[in-house]
Amino acid sequence: MDKMKKDFTPTLLDFGPLQIFLARHFGFCYGVENAIEIAFRTVEENPGKRIFLLSEMIHNPQVNADLQSHGIQFLQDTYGKQLISFDELNANDIVLIPAFGTTPLIENKLNEIGIATEKYNTTCPFVEKVWNRSESIAKSNYTIVIHGKPGHEETRATFSRASVHAPSVVVKDMRQAEELAKYIRGEKPVSLFYEEFKHQYSDSFNVEKDLEKIGVVNQTTMLASDTQAIADFLKSVMIKKYGAETTNDHFADTRDTLCYATNDNQSAVSGMLNTQADLAIVVGGYNSSNTSHLVELCEQKLHTYFIRNEENIISQRDILHYDLHAKQEILTSNYLPSKEPVKILITSGASCPDSIVEAVIKKIAGLYPGIRTMEKLTSEFQ
């Protein structure tokens, strides 16, 4: 009913001794639904054909395993490492491009083998929007600064496409933006740039010339506030160097290039965090960028448990969860406080099916025998 998506209060599922506050917006986005639909339709319409996915369709292990169980094979892992050589492909094969998109180099390679990439391209329109934005500022001779994770498929695709049109450089966070600023101001020897930003700048990048005019775009799933802070910071560096009256000549107004789903899910987490709760649970794939950012937001306020699915909830005492900082799964005991009601915030990333969130809620509810049933509770929302 909130068509303008202005209301970010979470939905309360009141089980009595357990209260779950579900983020107003969570889970699957348009791009992911579209990609999965195309993948399954492709399987249905092409019996007997070999179907490959360039890499993971999305960053969710269940969805990827489901696709594999339908016979789809992955050509690369999520870091771009080749699992099946392109030499093994032939013109009769189908190769699906994932929602993150891919590089022109790979597209050309597939086209040379005789594999048409347009029909089975699931690149999300919001990712393409970033590519178009990059191209348009490149036409005005701005260098493209991409805020993103250098190894992420989407950033690699955006970087390679941006590099076709203009010098490009990836900054992964504010710390790197601050280092880039030192080269803009001429405070650091140019020679250091090439080591410091190794594998993050385009061919023939000229530090002295190519940092005079810049514009910032981002990997669509970065934290909106981080991208905004980086863009504002680099803009202020340009203003200090060239003067406010010529700002537009040195800094392109790109506004943010986050997708709506990332924005909505992040805003919904901020809204959810206004609730006084005991802990937060974020559900999604451990290598999912947008999910990690939801975890970071929750961690600022609460004990937060990043889990893949309901199996991570081992018992009322133990939970197995991913530590973003140590980059490993860890077991935590006594994660549920012994008080009533226990208040838990729950959200999930854009690549997490709702059925997994439902299974997580059911598993937690099952830890409290005798409470209101899920069916009774959900009937109130019908």
**What is the nearest approach in angstroms of ligand SF4 to the Cβ of residue 34?**
8
Strands 11-14 and 18-22: antiparallel
When the beta carbons of 126 and 205 are compared against ligand SF4, the nearer one is 126
**What is the nearest approach in angstroms of ligand SF4 to the Cβ of residue 126?**
4
**What is the nearest approach in angstroms of ligand SF4 to the Cβ of residue 270?**
17
Residues 340-369 that bind ligand SF4 (CB under 6 A): 350
Alpha-carbon 101 to chain mean position: 13
Active site residue 154: yes
Q: What is the 3-state secondary structure (H, E, C) of the chain?
A: CCCCCCCCCCEEEECCCEEEEECCCCCCCHHHHHHHHHHHHHHHHCCCCCEEECCCCCCCHHHHHHHHHCCCEECECCCCCECCCHHHCCCCCEEEECCCCCCHHHHHHHHHHCCCCCCCECCCHHHHHHHHHHHHHHHCCCEEEEECCCCCHHHHHHHHHHHHHCCEEEECCHHHHHHHHHHHCCCCCHHHHHHHCCCCECCCCCHHHHCCCEEEEECCCCCHHHHHHHHHHHHHHHHHHHCHHHHHHHEECCCCCCCHHHHHHHHHHHHHCCCCCCEEEEECCCCCHHHHHHHHHHHCCCCEEEECCHHHECCCCEEEEEECCCCEEEEEECCCCCCCCEEEEEEECCCCCHHHHHHHHHHHHCCCCCCCCHHHHHHCCC
When the beta carbons of 19 and 121 are compared against ligand SF4, the nearer one is 121
When the beta carbons of 59 and 250 are compared against ligand SF4, the nearer one is 59
**Overall residue count recorded for the chain in this entry:** 382
Please identify the residue of the shown chain whose CB is closest to the bound ligand SF4: 31
* Binding residue for ligand SF4, selected from 19, 202, 290, 304, defined by CB under 6 A: 290
When the beta carbons of 166 and 261 are compared against ligand SF4, the nearer one is 261
Q: Which stretch binds ligand SF4 (CB under 6 A): 171-179, 242-250, 257-265, 366-374?
A: 257-265
Q: Is the dihedral of CA 187, 191, 196, 201 positive or negative?
A: positive
**What is the nearest approach in angstroms of ligand SF4 to the Cβ of residue 158?**
11
* Binding residue for ligand SF4, selected from 36, 38, 99, 222, defined by CB under 6 A: 99
For residues 190 to 229, the per-residue mask of contacts with ligand SF4, x marking binding by CB under 6 A and - elsewhere, is: ------------------------------xx--------
* Binding residue for ligand SF4, selected from 54, 124, 295, 345, defined by CB under 6 A: 124
- Selecting among 56, 107, 153, 154, the annotated active-site residue is 154
Q: Which stretch binds ligand SF4 (CB under 6 A): 120-128, 236-244, 323-331, 355-363?
A: 120-128
When the beta carbons of 129 and 372 are compared against ligand SF4, the nearer one is 129
Work out whether 261 is an interface residue with ligand SF4 (CB under 6 A).
yes
Work out whether 157 is an interface residue with ligand SF4 (CB under 6 A).
no
What residues form DSSP beta bridges with 18? 342
Q: Which stretch binds ligand SF4 (CB under 6 A): 28-36, 42-50, 145-153, 373-381?
A: 28-36
Work out whether 26 is an interface residue with ligand SF4 (CB under 6 A).
no
- The neighbour count for residue 15, using CB atoms within 10 Å, is 20
Distance CA 228, CA 269 (A): 18
Distance CA 22, CA 374 (A): 14
Q: Which stretch binds ligand SF4 (CB under 6 A): 27-35, 87-95, 229-237, 313-321?
A: 27-35
Work out whether 53 is an interface residue with ligand SF4 (CB under 6 A).
no
Q: Which stretch binds ligand SF4 (CB under 6 A): 9-17, 19-27, 122-130, 204-212?
A: 122-130
When the beta carbons of 125 and 366 are compared against ligand SF4, the nearer one is 125
For residue 251, what are its two tokens?
């800094």
How many binding residues for ligand SF4 (CB under 6 A)?
Answer: 15
- Tell me the catalytic residues: 154
Footprint of ligand SF4 on this chain (CB under 6 A)? Answer: 29-32, 99, 124, 126-127, 220-221, 259, 261-262, 290, 350
